[in-house]
Each structure stands twice: as C-alpha cells, then as structure tokens.
Structure 1
Amino acid sequence: MSKLKLAAIEDDKPVRFTIELPATVHRDLAAYAEALGQATGKAAIEPAKLIPPMLARFMATDRAFAKLRRTRSKQVA
C-alpha cells in the first residue's frame, strides 16, 4: 500500500462546523478512513474526523498561503 499523506488522527477539542459535501466526496472520505485504519492497524474512523487534518495539511503545504501569512504577520508586527 502506498504511504498516505495523513497519519493517525489526534484527539483535540473540536469546534462545531457544519458543511455539506457531495456524495462522491463523502464516499471517498469513507474509503480513505478505511485505508487509514488499515495502514495504522486501527479501526476505520468517522470520515468527518479526516476533514480537519486534511485541511490543515493542505494549508500547511500551500506556498501562496504561507507567503500571505508571512506578509500579514510582518504588517501586524
């Protein structure tokens, strides 16, 4: 199996956020949750729990976003 971009999901105090997803995205999240469970040797987690770490990883690897954050933090300082 190829290496997944996400590792085990950390428990953290959640903030409620409601979104609607296309059915295809939900099916893909469920499949990813199952694959992640197999890769980590744990049971598949709820697909919704994948969204925060996926978004965090996406934002952390977005160069334009990182540049924008650096620029804004310099303006505030």
Structure 2
Amino acid sequence: MVDLKLARLPDRTPIKVGIVILPELNARLSAYAAAYASAYGAEESITELIPAMLSAFLDSDREFAKFEKTGKMPT
C-alpha cells in the first residue's frame, strides 16, 4: 500500500458539453463577464466563466450536498 500524503489525483480530462441558451441569458452572462473584468482587471470569456459559475452554484446548494452525501433528497 502506498503511504503518500498526497492522494491520487482525480481524473481531470475535460468533457465538452454543448448547450443552447436564450438571448436574455446570453446578455446576462455577457454583463457578468463585463462585471468580472471590471472587478478583477482581467477579461475572461463566458465559456471560461460558466464552469466556475456552475461549480460555485453546486457548492453552495445545501440540499444538493445532502443528496450527494446520502443519495436521496432530504425530507
């Protein structure tokens, strides 16, 4: 058995997902990208921001965290 402090790294192979969004959402995402650039002084494309936004959303959803832990929705 290996006794390293660092565990084996998870699979980091990117998966490409294509979605279609409504114009209103595209406008809001573009506005968010502009706000991001204003806040951090670095422009990032919407396609770069969306994965981080989705991760932040999932990380902040407490009910989903419970579901991930138990495999069933809390009642």
TM-score, scaled to structure 1: 0.69
Structure number with the bigger relative contact order (C-alpha 8 A, sep ≥ 6) is 1
Q: Which has the larger radius of gyration?
A: 2
In structure 1, how many angstroms separate the alpha carbons of the residues matched to 2:15 and 2:36? Answer: 23
The residue number in structure 1 matching 2:17 is 17
Instruction: Pick closer, same or farther for the CA change 1:18–1:32 going to 2, 3 Å.
Output: same
How far apart are residue 13 of structure 1 and its match? 6.1
Alignment-mate amino acid for residue 56 of structure 1: S
Other-structure match for 2:35: 35
Indicate the RMSD between aligned Cα atoms, in angstroms: 1.6
Superposition pairs of residues 46-57 of structure 1, within 5 angstroms: 46-57=45-56
Identity %: 35
Shift in CA distance, 37/13, structure 1 to aligned 2, threshold 3 Å: farther
Q: In structure 1, give the amino acid aligned to 2:59.
A: A
